């Protein structure tokens, strides 16, 4: 898998995009030619990224009229917007701990707990038994994990690692409640690409826990790409 960033300058406004090299390597060669970048409409460029990433164009490409002023918008622009709104967008789920507005508070809360004196599991009596479950210890493990997952760019080549982690936590260990909460939110946040992994779909069939709502509003959603059926996993 390639690493690094490829820069694109797109559209009449010459808006700059930075795309991961592994994604850009799947683009048509013509798009990779710098002289053509400025001639590509931003929306068309976005759809190209979407197709390379997901293998699907579920929203019709915009027509040439979209280059013009707002007054020249085609009459069917409203259905196009409605169709776009129905697509999976994790940013709509603000209660998910991986939402940009939520993640800093979650990390700050856990980091604050790291400075507390060791307590027993009820959080009341000072604990000096090293064999017991110190509150700061599980916080110490969750803090770097959440931050690592948040910065872990999930792609098709990496889903297997996440699925193996889910299998271990949900199928091989029954004492990882806090970790399960984190991973359910992570799976909900990345469900569209995870559902392209056959092992993940099989795991969902075996585990009802991943079908439950997480953090009040997180919903596992996936539109099956082969058009055979649609999943709304709750």
Residuewise pLDDT in 10s, the chain (234 residues): 445 667 777 766 677 766 766 666 666 666 666 545 556 666 666 666 665 555 554 544 443 333 333 444 444 444 433 443 345 566 776 677 777 777 787 777 777 766 555 555 565 555 556 555 555 566 667 778 888 888 887 888 888 988 998 888 888 776 777 788 888 888 888 888 888 888 888 887 777 655 443 333 333 333 333 333 333 332
Q: Characterise 28 by phi-psi region: left (phi > 0), alpha (psi -120 to 50), beta (else).
A: beta
Q: Tokens at residue 18, please?
A: 């930075």
Question: What pLDDT does residue 99 have?
Answer: 79
The structure tokens listed for 186 are 């992570």
Confidence at residue 223, expressed as pLDDT on a 0 to 100 scale: 30
For the chain, what are the domain ranges?
Answer: 5-85, 91-233
For residues 73 and 63, give the distance between their C-alpha atoms in angstroms, rounded to a whole number.
9
139 Cβ contact partners less than 8 Å away, ≥ 6 residues apart: 110, 111, 113, 114
Residue 88: which of 6, 10, 182, 196 has the closest Cα?
196
Supply the pLDDT for residue 87: 52
pTM of this prediction? 0.46
pLDDT at 65: 37
């Amino acid at each position: 898998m390639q690493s690094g960033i490829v820069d694109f300058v797109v559209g009449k406004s010459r808006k700059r995009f930075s795309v991961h090299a592994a994604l850009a390597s799947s683009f048509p060669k013509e798009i990779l030619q710098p002289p053509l970048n400025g001639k590509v409409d931003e929306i068309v460029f976005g759809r190209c990224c979407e197709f390379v990433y997901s293998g699907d164009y579920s929203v019709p490409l915009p027509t040439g009229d979209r280059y013009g002023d707002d007054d020249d918008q085609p009459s069917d622009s409203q259905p196009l917007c409605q169709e776009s709104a129905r697509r999976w967008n994790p940013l709509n789920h603000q209660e998910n701990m991986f939402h940009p507005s939520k993640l800093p508070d979650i990390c700050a809360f856990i980091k604050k707990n790291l400075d507390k004196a060791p307590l027993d599991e009820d959080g009341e009596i000072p604990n000096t038994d090293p064999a017991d479950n110190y509150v700061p210890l599980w916080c110490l493990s969750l803090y770097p994990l959440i931050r690592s997952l948040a910065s872990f760019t999930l792609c098709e080549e990496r889903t297997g690692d996440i699925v193996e982690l889910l299998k271990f936590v949900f199928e091989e260990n029954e004492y990882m409640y806090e970790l399960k909460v984190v991973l359910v939110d992570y799976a909900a946040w990345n469900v569209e690409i995870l559902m392209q992994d056959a092992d993940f779909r099989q795991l969902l069939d075996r585990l009802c826990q991943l079908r439950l709502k997480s953090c009040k509003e997180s919903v596992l959603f996936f539109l099956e790409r082969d058009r055979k059926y649609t999943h709304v996993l709750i």
